[in-house]
Structure 1
């Protein structure tokens, strides 16, 4: 009998231990409950002091996790194993997440600080009424270059990349939309073009660029350009800012034919558990002082018009990263082209990469 009681007690203790372990595991995996808010963001994409400030002001504990691609983020959210309350996807990902019912609508009445967002960055094609998303950071796709290594080239036009003096001197980001889009823009077409003749024309032109392409790379492009291991790079403006912080000789420009205007946006996933806390956090991040502090820490462009007035002039007045309305009017966001066309873009990009070999 004693042995039976002892066995029963051991079973109960083991069960309680497993319940506690499961609770801790769920907490570490990002499950929200009570006064907890789980945020899913890109790495190093917020000032940590602001998280502490929000926790102190709201009394809400923040659990912060990071991802390194929109695809990885969407996969994890769609699997539903973790209840994230806020995520920060890019514009094309928002279109896809809306289609797959992975987002819930925002209550604008709980976001009074929305008034501070520049109207230029509201009501865009991927979310016309901002029903699901609020701008977080924005930027462009352009060219970083070393003035002393490119002669008289200033890259006012994409066509200058095809100059013979740039043999083996160009680094490209490893992205189908970016590279194929560059080819389309250089021909005067939209970077969302789906016309097959235009796409083939763009690939044909890109194959003529291959003698100038030193490599197609990922995140290492920042280090390579900062170390002057290539004269020119196709990069996003946020990366350009980091590169130029490391090497202030370098310049950044967006060609006049146009390019990509990208946005990362705050959203509330459909599976969120702390919806009230999520609205509180979004509104907190929209506060001009908070947005200015975050922009200065991260180095990317804030869409918060009131925050611009609080930033140092050497940041807010830098037209390379805060271009005027004339330039932004020529820029395009990436539309969600659908799985079939996106696959075709990837095939064309692979065709271009194979030609280099």
Structure 2
């Protein structure tokens, strides 16, 4: 599954290539490769000022989670990769060298299982994370895995969350004003007024999951055969759908071909800023939760700076800045008020604790269950 499979271009203050401090042979260094737009530059600058010694900080944004995962794979094959000399960056048409192994890297929670299974990352030194105890137990359990990447209360800590979002309904406010109602929950996707006006993600777990949620079941139901009404609900929903896409589901909504779409909150941020007719609803019965995590590549050495950075992201002031500037939620409680944000983003950032309580992570399923989801989904679209 490739959440956000196109480049993100978030509005407001975002982090471009940022290098803080002067290079020195004996100077401590922290190399972080992160998802573009997921950390504001203000947080990096404050972190630099908080350090007691001079440190070279290198924060390099990458456009897609998939690309970050591919870097983990390349580092496994070439663990001695190093940074290219600065002067070579200005040579036109040169061949790019292998990117240096980072101390920390962003990874989506959905990629965590395979990263552990393929031994691309190593457990974190939780004893050095002062803010760890402030995390809700659900966050701690999400990243506590066994060696096969399966959630395990006795497992090691493989990652640290720093922001999260949801699967949402995004709709054209003008069209629904004419209808006299607005989408509030998954059941609204079955209403006759929106037949052939819906775009859905081309993802079995997401689509079947929202139907399960409508029926009062879990996104992580392992045996779909235990839900007798599921196939009928899937077929009825399919009649409502104009297209399935995980990459271009917003474009039809913008030009008016569809009136409603189901997508990831991280994708809709930029279009909300540019198209005032669009609004977002987080389904009242609950939805899927995605998370951006810090992980440590397998080949990196133990580094206290990495722990300091993770801790810094979980401090209340940093967490609030990350939420406000990246339009995502924090794994720790923040005091964000309606007056802090634009109205169009209020549904994404307010009432986050209630949304989190009703939401579910898409946890890894057994292989046979995964095949069942794929089979049901293919039959639905046939």
TM-score normalised over the length of structure 1: 0.75
Match of 1:40 among 33, 39, 50: 33
- 2:263 corresponding residue in structure 1: 235
Match of 1:136 among 142, 162, 167: 162
- 2:204 counterpart residue number: 176
Matched, 1:163 2:194: no
Structure number with larger C-alpha Rg = 1
Counterparts of 2:301 and 2:317, CA distance in 1? 28
For the Cα contact (< 8 Å) 1:55–1:62, is it kept in 2?
A: no
Give 2:350's aligned residue: 322
How far 1:164 sits from its partner (Å)? 1.7
Distance in 2 between the 1:322 and 1:266 partners?
24
Residues of 2 paired with 1:45 and 1:302: CA distance? 11
Listed as ranges, the gaps of 5+ residues in structure 2 are 1-25, 80-100, 145-152
Instruction: Indicate whether 1:61 and 2:57 are aligned.
Output: yes
Q: CA deviation at 1:166?
A: 0.8
Normalized per residue, the structure richer in helix is 1
Once the two structures are TM-superposed, the CA of residue 161 in structure 1 deviates from its matched residue by: 0.7
What is the CA–CA distance in structure 2 between the aligned matches of 1:312 and 1:124, rounded to whole Å?
Answer: 33
- Give 1:139 deviation, angstroms: 1.8
- CA shift for structure 1 position 126: 4.5
Question: How far, CA to CA, are the matches of 1:172 and 1:340 in structure 2?
Answer: 24
User: Contact 1:260–1:331 (CA<8 Å) still a contact in 2?
Assistant: yes
1:331 to 359, 365, 376: 359
Provide the TM-score with structure 2 as the length reference: 0.71
How far apart in 1 are the matches of 2:221 and 2:375? Answer: 15
How many residue pairs match? The answer is 319
Distance 1:152 1:289 in 2: 41
| Cα distance between partner residues in 2 of 1:75 and 1:200 | 40
- Counterpart residue number, 1:300: 328
Matches of residues 1-357 of structure 1 in structure 2 within 5 Å? 35-51=28-44, 54=47, 57=51, 59-62=55-58, 64-66=60-62, 68-70=64-66, 73-79=68-74, 80=76, 81=78, 83-114=101-132, 117=135, 119=136, 122-127=139-144, 128=153, 131-150=157-176, 151-198=179-226, 201-273=229-301, 275-305=303-333, 307-308=334-335, 313-314=340-341, 318-323=346-351, 325-353=353-381, 355=382
- C-alpha distance in 1 between matches for 2:249 and 2:106: 23
Distance in structure 1 (CA, Å) of the matches to 2:71 and 2:256: 37
- CA 1:121–1:190 in 2, change beyond 3 Å: closer, same or farther? closer
1:191 shift after superposition:
0.9
Greater relative CO (CA pairs within 8 A, separation 6+): 1
Instruction: Give the match for residue 27 of structure 1.
Output: none
